[in-house]
């Protein structure tokens, strides 16, 4: 099996996806406990902290899919045999 992206790009995508997952999980937690600093921006929008937390968790799922795909590309490129001419 050949990788679809270069090893460097796959590693960068994996790292950014992991950072995104952590960041969105923290935001989701803060919205779920209705942190006052974040809730200040929702006044008048009709949204609750729980709704925004669910949206953040949906984004975490998308980032997790990217993380799995890019991580699999890193593994595939690691075990790929070099081309010999």
Looking at the 3D structure of the chain, how many domains does it have?
Answer: 1
**Structure confidence at residue 10 (pLDDT):** 94
**Structure confidence at residue 44 (pLDDT):** 82
**Structure confidence at residue 43 (pLDDT):** 81
Asked whether residue 66 is assigned to any structural domain, the reply reads: yes
Asked whether residue 60 is assigned to any structural domain, the reply reads: yes
The neighbour count for residue 26, using CB atoms within 10 Å, is: 11
Regions of the chain with pLDDT less than 50: none
**Structure confidence at residue 13 (pLDDT):** 96
**Structure confidence at residue 28 (pLDDT):** 96
Calpha distance 70→72 (Å, rounded): 5
Calpha distance 4→2 (Å, rounded): 6
Domain that holds residue 73: 9-79
Look up residue 61 and give its two tokens.
Answer: 């799922």
**Structure confidence at residue 65 (pLDDT):** 98
């Amino acid at each position: 099996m050949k990788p679809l992206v270069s090893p460097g790009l796959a590693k960068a995508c994996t790292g950014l996806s992991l950072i995104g997952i952590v960041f969105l999980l923290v935001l989701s937690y803060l919205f779920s406990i209705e942190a006052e600093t974040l809730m200040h921006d929702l006044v008048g929008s009709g949204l609750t902290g729980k709704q925004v937390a669910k949206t953040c968790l949906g984004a975490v799922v998308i980032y997790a899919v990217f993380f799995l795909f890019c991580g699999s590309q890193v593994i595939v490129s690691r075990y790929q045999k070099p081309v010999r001419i």
